[in-house]
Structure 1
């Protein structure tokens, strides 16, 4: 049997790269809490961290999925040689480039799939890549696939005659093109359903906000605001919205030819190389956006207090609290001194983070001031803990201190918080643990190179309880992130949003099903950009969508609709679809044209 000369070239190329290339900037697989080791050529995964602290994981094992993690890669089988080495050589060519971590990961995963699933490296045939492209049904990113093919050709690892696949969908006829374009758009009924859910998740009556609690589940409110923003102004939702700063809707008023015109906008961080700007918000969506931003400010206020503490734990309490109003009963339990620093756990008590825990005391060293004996142990109320108090720590006691919800992890070993330790030592190790998760602390980042925000000033400063991360799809960030004292990353928030509106994977617990709608209702986040482009082409938001989102139907009607039977819902949908009881069509088109103006550079009236 003849050996294909290209196989020999690949082996020679791989041997050369392995011999001559420094890989000390790459890291190998590691368990959570371990120091990542320097990579080796036999690793099943590598990790690269750029100068901004953004990490990209690359997998060289078989049968990985979206749930595969570098800490669990040992469960998978390493690709055969020389293919995993070839993939690592390709990784080295792109790892240090100025690309987003997501882009780098996708390049490697698409290249890995080509190696394992195509005939390219068995036949080296001219049409082998095209056949593979046709087989996967155009479901892979063509540009990323072509990048790998070009790299192979530059290094003379495959014949130059191997064809680059083309997107033959460009040759579709008019009917096919129309059908394809429509498939990119969300179901209008799903958009309307989100409007109905918005009215329930974020009450228009602000007096109802006084009963909100920092442990209340606010996931629906989070998803609704994320969706409303995507419906108000075209953007890259994951890269931009998850790192927006806390703010109110701003308005610029101008007199144009004797007519008062208003433009609504938000300060917006750019992505994909675009600079920060003032992003225009559609006139018809302005009331909803304004309301939802105000609501998010209220429900995240305790977490901003916590963020200020993390940034400066030695600050006096008055500088940490600022204008935050503590419940009188919690204040009386703690009786703190505003002029002095406070412990993390006493602060958490003031913020209400222990309000729903059954046991609010921990074991302390004998002789601790304010302690009392219970059985064989001495205990003290968490509300009364002082920085110098020494706690007898194990997994249960630490979980009580951190008000952990749901399944406990062995966090005391992870943080090396065991035995007798002072409250000050425990809080310092917890803060160090958080900083280990966010290397650019107090800045947190998403999967975009430019996507970052400060933990105190971020719009979505929600904790794990508010995001419903205890047993709900979305996943926790790290050990201990099921505590309300944790900081949830923008990356996880983006995943929560995708899971809730698109039902990623086998997840049927979407925001639609939670509110009684069909499990067939799903919206992919990127569809909203296509939707906004489409409605501008058609002259404005549909009357039905305006009615549902703009608050022009009675909120009580809409809330009733959410709880109606399928038949009743169909009736209400029909009413909203055909009863044009709001503005005339010309006004609606004008209101909708806003999102597509160029970013404005104005001074706000506010």
Structure 2
């Protein structure tokens, strides 16, 4: 039977299959095909390689994970995924966002029952779709609607469920949760001291001591978030190689800063570093400046293996004991002699090489060892032949030791077609090509989780694979082959993910706090440090324009969403600028609004009851209550004592709410309706608070700024003359007890006259219940 929706889908797939797909590769490295279960997009400008799974949702891992036939989606949806990938690639969004949009589309196609055209908003909303990704499904549904693949009346995009508590209290609590716990920050400081215990101020390590480089990276990553409100994962991994810079004018205080690569369209800049953390941050920066230099040299070697050893080393100081061997610094080194010079091996380390003129193909395996002889690593040449044995247990094995493993991946044996030996030059060429193709396809550049990038040889945090992954015995689950090698360089995006995971802990890994003996309850979300920095700057009375520039934003409107101050602090700030001039006859709230905007640059909007300090252009008001005065009890609202118009409105509202309560109190349904009882208690409480606010606005000194904390049930009053802040607790009556008494009284009345309506009807006929 013909179906117009499926016909359109078949035609759409046929149209897209005509494209050459020159920028896509399959898992085998060849040009992508519509039957492949994994696609890699190669950016033509940067060479950045992005992996997209095309099969059923649920496969985990990297590399070829998800490439098994059982992961394939049924046709035609197996091909629709590829169509969507081609569409998403052309969108001006980050790589992570592109992958997320494809992932949620695959999730829908994996869990839906029946055909896509049969889906409705109600059916989609009932699927187990990740809450955080629901809004990312909308572009896919919109695309399907535009192409006529789904039914227009059945799908309108209303499948997105808003599960958020949008009350004022919940919003305030949510903002406070965006700040890192102080206990975690204190613990982080203790961990930093332990990690860098054996590091001098200039970044050098104490003789005979070693530093855990992974832990050093994690605490430095977090310290950067405390020292400047940066986008940590997007900006810190791509910091250029540098030392902390200091500037001062005359006898003024020193200003510390770093050259910083911007993100999200913000230009590169010189970012200020807090003076209170400058000493610790400088020690950490100096440590990585020195420690990572050998890895930067290795990166330069990968770019051009023909450079001489002197050209590669630059200012790097080779250990004197390593200079004693016969090395020609004016000629290009090979991969392993360079590793020797950079300190990857011990001075006396040797590896077996095949004796000259021997053909192993005719020699029995047991006897092959006698045809190898040891040679110092520093003396290896490109023509020396090494065994392709994959385990260190073999007496003539060399490659596992040279690459830093106990057992090598079979990948190298496959690439050499099972050869028994290979020259150092052949292994070097294979490794560089493998590294650029598999481990870091965008080399010589490296990217963070966003679009920020840097030439890896210029990166401050250029880390070696075995430092980070520390799996000398194998790849580990989901890992790439040879990613823990002595010669592997860690992708900068992986550094950001590693630090973020270790600061919070995951199901599979302990947090850095647990590693150092602290409670598993301690954790820091990396982005919360950006909120902390902005809030701290705001509390220090730094203008929002400066906070905006310091945070790397192009617009100051977004800064307010990162500032989370308490009710008392906000009330004090409003009070400071509320000294109304005697000759200013305007409404007090108008004066307050203008001063808030001009003097301390925080958002301020006039409302019917006072001033709102929420930036309504960036975050529209979503606060609701059950009163006429809609702003009442909102955490962003402040009220001004003596504001006549606001007092009049509150008085009318209070009278009206009391009438509503009276009407409900005599309603016969109150004794049996739990919903009505809950409303009565809640509304009685809110009306009482409103009456208390009215009293304070009438009796307090004119101009006093009043805020209410629904969390503590307190009013905070800021006196404009004494500049003092006082709190007035709102002691609430026992409304539950009052409701209970009201219900009991009504039960007694109804017991004496159980059915007054029936009694009235019988009386009209001259009868009574007793006589019936």
Is 1:159 the counterpart of 2:152? The answer is yes
Q: Tell me the CA shift for residue 598 of structure 1.
A: 4.2
Paired residues of 1:362 and 1:382 also in contact (CA < 8 A): no
Match of 1:338 in 2: 329
Q: Tell me the CA shift for residue 123 of structure 1.
A: 5.7
Q: Give the one of 344, 353, 365 matched to 1:363.
A: 353
SS in 2 for 1:326: coil
In the superposition, relative to structure 1, how do residues 183 and 599 fare at CA in structure 2: closer, same or farther (>3 Å)? closer
Q: Tell me the CA shift for residue 338 of structure 1.
A: 2.3
SS in 2 for 1:210: coil
Gaps of 5+ in 1: 541-588, 601-606
Match of 2:214 in 1: 219
Q: Tell me the CA shift for residue 89 of structure 1.
A: 2.6
CA RMSD of aligned residues (A): 3.6
Q: Tell me the CA shift for residue 404 of structure 1.
A: 1.5
SS in 1 for 2:297: helix
In the superposition, relative to structure 1, how do residues 447 and 416 fare at CA in structure 2: closer, same or farther (>3 Å)? farther
Q: Give the one of 109, 129, 132 matched to 1:115.
A: 109
Is 1:239 the counterpart of 2:234? The answer is yes
Paired residues of 1:149 and 1:164 also in contact (CA < 8 A): no
Higher mean Cα deviation, 231-240 or 402-411? 402-411
Q: How does 1:472-551 map to 2 (within 5 A)?
A: 478-504=480-506, 506-537=507-538, 539=539
Q: How does 1:242-257 map to 2 (within 5 A)?
A: 242-254=237-249
Superposed CA deviations along residues 325-367 of structure 1, whole A, max 9, x for unmatched, are: 22333333x32122232222122112221239x9631222337
**TM-score, reference length from structure 1:** 0.77
In the superposition, relative to structure 1, how do residues 513 and 403 fare at CA in structure 2: closer, same or farther (>3 Å)? same
In the superposition, relative to structure 1, how do residues 497 and 221 fare at CA in structure 2: closer, same or farther (>3 Å)? same
Larger Rg belongs to: 2
Partners of 2:463 and 2:412 in 1: how far apart? Answer: 24
Is 1:149 the counterpart of 2:141? The answer is yes
Paired residues of 1:124 and 1:162 also in contact (CA < 8 A): no
Q: Give the one of 182, 188, 191 matched to 1:197.
A: 191
Q: Tell me the CA shift for residue 476 of structure 1.
A: 8.0
Superposed CA deviations along residues 127-183 of structure 1, whole A, max 9, x for unmatched, are: 444555xx65x7323442222232222223232552435674676112111222233
Paired residues of 1:202 and 1:221 also in contact (CA < 8 A): yes
Paired residues of 1:307 and 1:455 also in contact (CA < 8 A): yes
Q: How does 1:397-416 map to 2 (within 5 A)?
A: 397-400=397-400, 402-416=402-416
Match of 2:91 in 1: 97
Partners of 1:473 and 1:510 in 2: how far apart? Answer: 22
Match of 1:452 in 2: 453
Match of 2:345 in 1: 354
Is 1:60 the counterpart of 2:51? The answer is no
Paired residues of 2:56 and 2:107 also in contact (CA < 8 A): no
In the superposition, relative to structure 1, how do residues 208 and 121 fare at CA in structure 2: closer, same or farther (>3 Å)? closer
In the superposition, relative to structure 1, how do residues 291 and 216 fare at CA in structure 2: closer, same or farther (>3 Å)? closer
Higher mean Cα deviation, 214-223 or 85-94? 214-223
Match of 2:445 in 1: 443
Q: Tell me the CA shift for residue 222 of structure 1.
A: 0.6
In the superposition, relative to structure 1, how do residues 210 and 475 fare at CA in structure 2: closer, same or farther (>3 Å)? farther
Match of 1:586 in 2: none
Partners of 1:200 and 1:240 in 2: how far apart? Answer: 26
Gaps of 5+ in 2: 359-367, 392-396, 553-772
Paired residues of 1:365 and 1:420 also in contact (CA < 8 A): no
In the superposition, relative to structure 1, how do residues 239 and 28 fare at CA in structure 2: closer, same or farther (>3 Å)? same
Q: Give the one of 291, 298, 310 matched to 1:299.
A: 291
Q: Tell me the CA shift for residue 305 of structure 1.
A: 2.5
Paired residues of 2:124 and 2:159 also in contact (CA < 8 A): yes
Paired residues of 1:23 and 1:39 also in contact (CA < 8 A): no
In the superposition, relative to structure 1, how do residues 116 and 340 fare at CA in structure 2: closer, same or farther (>3 Å)? closer
Paired residues of 2:57 and 2:107 also in contact (CA < 8 A): no
In the superposition, relative to structure 1, how do residues 536 and 127 fare at CA in structure 2: closer, same or farther (>3 Å)? farther
SS in 1 for 2:189: helix
Higher mean Cα deviation, 307-316 or 115-124? 115-124
Q: Tell me the CA shift for residue 525 of structure 1.
A: 2.4
Higher mean Cα deviation, 74-83 or 202-211? 202-211
Of structures 1 and 2, the one with the larger relative CO (CA 8 A, separation 6+) is 1
Q: Tell me the CA shift for residue 468 of structure 1.
A: 4.2
Partners of 1:140 and 1:430 in 2: how far apart? Answer: 40
Q: Tell me the CA shift for residue 276 of structure 1.
A: 1.9
Match of 1:78 in 2: 72
Paired residues of 1:283 and 1:592 also in contact (CA < 8 A): no
In the superposition, relative to structure 1, how do residues 439 and 124 fare at CA in structure 2: closer, same or farther (>3 Å)? closer
Partners of 1:167 and 1:533 in 2: how far apart? Answer: 31
**Number of equivalent positions:** 528
